[in-house]
Structure 1
Amino acid sequence: MPGHDLLRLRQELELREQAALSPLACPSVAALRRRLDPVSDSGHRLAFAVDADRVLHSLAYTRYIDKTQVFSLVDNDHISHRVLHVQLVSKIGRTVGRLLGLNEDLIEAIALAHDLGHPPFGHDGEGYLSALCQEHGLGPFLHNVQSVRFLESVERGGRGLNLSLQVLDGVLCHDGEVCDNRLTPWPGKDFAALDAELAAKQADPGLSLRPMTMEGCVVRLCDAVAYVGRDLEDAINIGLIDRDDLPAEVARTLGRTNGAIVYRLVEDLAQNSLGRPHLAFSDEVGQALAQLKRFNLERIYLNPKIKTQHHKIAEIYRHLFEQYLGDLGGQRRQSPVFAHFLDAMDDDYRQATPAAGVVRDFISSMTDDYFLRCYRRLVWPERLPSRFGASG
Structure 2
Amino acid sequence: MAGNKLNIEGVMLFEQPFTRVPYENYRKVFRTSQKQIEKELSAVQLSASDLLKKSQTAGSERKADDSVKAIDAMIARIETLKRKLSDLHDSTGHPTLTVLRERTQHLAAVEALQNEADPEFSRWADTRLDRWLVDWSLRTGREGTARQITQDRGIEKLVDIELFTEIRRIEEALKRRSCTEALAWCSENKAALRKIKNPLEFELRFQEFIELARALKQDDAIAYQKKYLLGWQDTHLPQITQASALLAVPPARAFGPYKWLYDPLRWTTLVESFRLSIYNLSTLPTEPLLHLGMYAGLASLKLPACYNHETKNADCPVCDPSLGHLATDVPFSHHVNSTIVCRLTGRIIDENNSPLAFPASGQIYSREALEDMAAKNDGIVTCPRSNERIPFEDLRKVYIS
Task: Please indicate the TM-score interval, normalised by the length of the shorter structure.
Answer: under 0.3
Could you say which structure has the greater relative contact order, defined with CA pairs below 8 angstroms and 6 or more residues apart?
A: 1
Question: When the two structures are superposed, what TM-score results if normalisation uses the length of structure 1?
Answer: 0.22
Larger Rg: 2
